[in-house]
Amino acid sequence: MKYAFPKEFWWGSASSAPQTEGESLSHGKSATVWDHWYSQQPTRFHNDVGPQDTSTFYKNWREDIALLKQLNHNTFRTSISWARLIPNGRGDVNQEAVTFYNQVIDEMLAQGVQPFINLFHFDMPMAMQEIGGWENRDVVQAYAKYADTCFELFGDRVKHWFTFNEPVVPVEGGYLYDFHYPNVVDFKRAATVAYHTMLAHSLAVKAYRARDPGGEIGIILNLTPSYPRSQNPADLKAANIADLMFNRSFLDPALRGEYPQELVELLKKHGQLPACQQGDKELLKQGVVDLLGINYYQPRRIQCRDSMVNPESPFMPEWFFDNYVMPGRKMNPHRGWEIYEQGIYDILTNLRENYGNPRCFISENGMGVENELRFEQAGRIDDDYRIEFVSGHLKWLHRALQEGSGCLGYHMWTFIDCWSWMNAYKNRYGFIQLDLETQKRTVKKSGEWFAAVSKNNGFD
């Protein structure tokens, strides 16, 4: 076989509780920021579709886990909903939720699918947001308690845990660029949220290790390689700052237990450093992960700014760089994102050369297609474009492995077409198409292809 993968390579896909469970305000679950925001401003969501319209995993979990097996997944990532397990964010545990997650975990194990469980996928309980969300250190403590409750309840069977999915996204969306609640645009508040998230992460890692339940704990980061337009010092400097702000602000604490000094200096110079407390530094050191999940969709192309910054304008990352559109780039025409398969290799090589080749895996990579149901023929979607997308990335992953990368697996985003935040069902990503009206599931061509890749542990 031309592209053979190592024995016991993790083949699977990823999803999340808020994007699949449904039953968003019932069975004891309280509102998250998404339920709240949708109730306030439904028109900000594509076709006014909100978080209640999902594949209803809360009810269809048994059927979906059978499909996981049919697609030869040996691993699958989803998340626990904090607002379902502990409806007020802190305090009483919802026993119905405990039963639900126990059933899901047990059924996955019974079907030979290792559960990878993430604790936070953009879904802050509204009760916690009302007291300031990640800006409030009490919420950091409440999250740590929630994490420890999960380890206590499910840690005997779940051996791969993640504290956060893409923690930079709520920072960008909620505090910089207005695509998540609470729709604030303020760099210093964003920096505080980012900092407190990593403190919460470290507390959870510490709590996990104190229990020592014999598994591993990590974090899932969306890494966007920052490619400079040219080798001119000004472009190199601009790309380096974008890398510091969007990648290394999370990657360095997760793998080295500290922030890059260059980033600290930059924020200090501009008066944007969040407030630190005694003991924070030591805590961050304890947050170094056992396992890194890497979400990779597209790179960032960066050039130096071609105009001076108005020093009166509010401080933003874009003070230091411009995005640049590379001529001739390959595009996903549906989602409007660049396709650059080599990015996966560049990320893994960077981790091997500069971060001690950590245990890691590709935890998300996928192709969103706008209005994909229009490609349905005879009741099925023959998504050759998705097969080309996934195999193109797997080839570069394979090359990184041959050069010694510590990458352990590949998870596609996502299993079944899911509700995707403000985009709702605009872009479909699944191996399985979902009819929202009837809840009927149909495996796409890419799902069948992936089942064969997983079974053969590679492809030609």
How many residues bind to ligand BGP according to rule CB under 6 A? 15
Q: How many Cβ atoms from other residues are within 10 Å of residue 291's Cβ?
A: 21
Alpha carbons within 13 A on the beta-carbon side of 46: 13
CB-nearer residue toward ligand BGP: 192 or 363: 363
Between residues 19 and 114, which has the closer beta carbon with respect to ligand BGP? 19
368 binds ligand BGP (CB under 6 A): yes
- Best CA proximity match to 11, nearest among 88, 78, 68: 68
Strand partners, 117: 78, 161
Residue 34, by phi and psi: left (phi above 0), alpha (psi -120 to 50) or beta?
alpha
* Contacting ligand BGP within 290-329 (CB under 6 A): 295
Longest dimension (CA), the chain: 63
Q: Which of 135, 166, 364, 372 is catalytic?
A: 364
Residues 178-207 within binding reach of ligand BGP (CB under 6 A): none
- The question of whether 364 is a catalytic residue gets the answer yes
Q: How far is CA 184 from the centre of its chain?
A: 21
Report, in Å, the least distance between residue 297 CB and ligand BGP.
7
Binding to ligand BGP, residues 276-295 (CB under 6 A): 295
Instruction: Select the span of 20-28, 132-140, 165-173, 400-408 touching ligand BGP (CB under 6 A).
Output: 165-173
Q: Residue 161: beta bridge partners?
A: 117, 217
| 129 near ligand BGP (CB under 6 A) | no
Q: Which of 24, 240, 427, 433 binds ligand BGP (CB under 6 A)?
A: 427
Cβ of residue 390: shortest distance to ligand BGP, in angstroms? 15
The length of the chain is: 460
Smallest gap from residue 190 Cβ to ligand BGP (A):
17
Mark residues 399-418: x for contact with ligand BGP by CB under 6 A, - for none: --------------x-----
What residues contact 52, with CB distance under 8 A and at least 6 apart? Answer: 22, 23, 24, 25, 35
What is the full DSSP assignment across 387-419? HHHHHHHHHHHHHHHHTT--EEEEEEE-SB---
Q: Tokens 């899932």 correspond to what residue?
A: 220
- Residue 456: CB atoms within 10 A of its CB come to 14
Q: Of these, 226, 420, 433, 454, which contacts ligand BGP (CB under 6 A)?
A: 420
Q: Name the residue with the smallest CB distance to ligand BGP.
A: 420
Which residues, 6 or more positions from 316, have their beta carbon under 8 angstroms from its beta carbon?
176, 187
Q: Compute the least distance from the CB of residue 99 to ligand BGP, in Å.
A: 26
Identify which of residues 56 and 357 has a Cβ nearer to ligand BGP in the complex: 56
CA distances from 204 to 142, 208, 280, 457 (A): 10, 6, 14, 34
Single residue of 13, 149, 165, 202 touching ligand BGP by CB under 6 A = 165
Our CB check for ligand BGP shows the closer of 155 and 368 to be 368
Known catalytic residues are 364
- Interacting residues toward ligand BGP by CB under 6 A: 16, 19, 165-166, 169, 222, 295, 335, 364, 368, 413, 420-421, 423, 427
